[in-house]
Amino acid sequence: MSSGEDSGERNPFAPPPPGAPDQPWRPRVPQPPADGPGGERPEGEQSPWGRPQPEQPAGPKLDPSDPLHRTARNALLCGFAALLAVLATFPWVGFPLALLAVWYAVTVLRTPAEPVADPFAPRPVRPQVPAALSALITGGLALVMSLSVFALQFAYHDYLDCVNSALTKEGAQSCAVDEPAPAWLVTMTEGADE
């Protein structure tokens, strides 16, 4: 390894010469071997390793201080909470949460994007849009499921009330005779009692 005396360059690992002023610490930039014939690089061409590489711009992130980002986050939380509440047989809790999630998600999606200077440049995806779309899907699914439960309870209220007030299993089975109900509902209520 050359000490740098032949090429006029100083060895970066060598200590500074005596009497040199103190310098602040800087990270070392790797220097690849010269590309030209005889170890020379053509004039005017600078090695890409000799310059610090520009940092790549980070993608957009959710900013808690931005009201639109907070709305998207709240929509996503409400959507998942509504879906879990409906699946845990609490549709009266899931229904308002689902309405809130859908409202928040639609509010975020209807907000116009910031104008760009170049109209032909591809528009970057706003970071709150995926969260709002997920909230719209989960909130909409929870809304449909909770409305289905409410419609089922309204349509077959007499049968379900008879099953809930029956003291014995035979009494619950006789409810299907007194109050007409579809076979799948009878099977589901009998399975829930076991």
Domains of the chain, by residue range, sit at 65-111+126-155, 156-194
- The pLDDT of residue 97 is above 70: yes
Distance of CA 153 to the CA centre of its chain: 35
Per the CB < 8 A criterion, the answer to whether 112 and 128 are in contact is no
Q: Which residues contact residue 131 at a Cβ distance below 8 angstroms, ignoring those fewer than 6 apart?
A: 62, 72, 73, 75, 76, 108
- The pLDDT of residue 169 is above 90: no
Neighbours of 81 (CB within 10 A): 19
Kindly state the DSSP code that residue 112 receives in the 8-state scheme: P
Q: For residue 118, with 0-12 CB atoms within 10 Å meaning exposed, 13-18 middle and 19 or more buried, which class applies?
A: exposed
Give me the sign of the Cα torsion angle 127, 128, 129, 131: positive
- The pLDDT of residue 108 is above 70: yes
Instruction: Provide the pLDDT for residue 4.
Output: 47
Stronger pLDDT, 31 or 188, i.e. the higher one: 188
At residue 55 the predicted structure's pLDDT band, cuts being 50, 70 and 90, is low
pTM of the model: 0.56
Mean pLDDT for the stretch of residues 166-183: 70
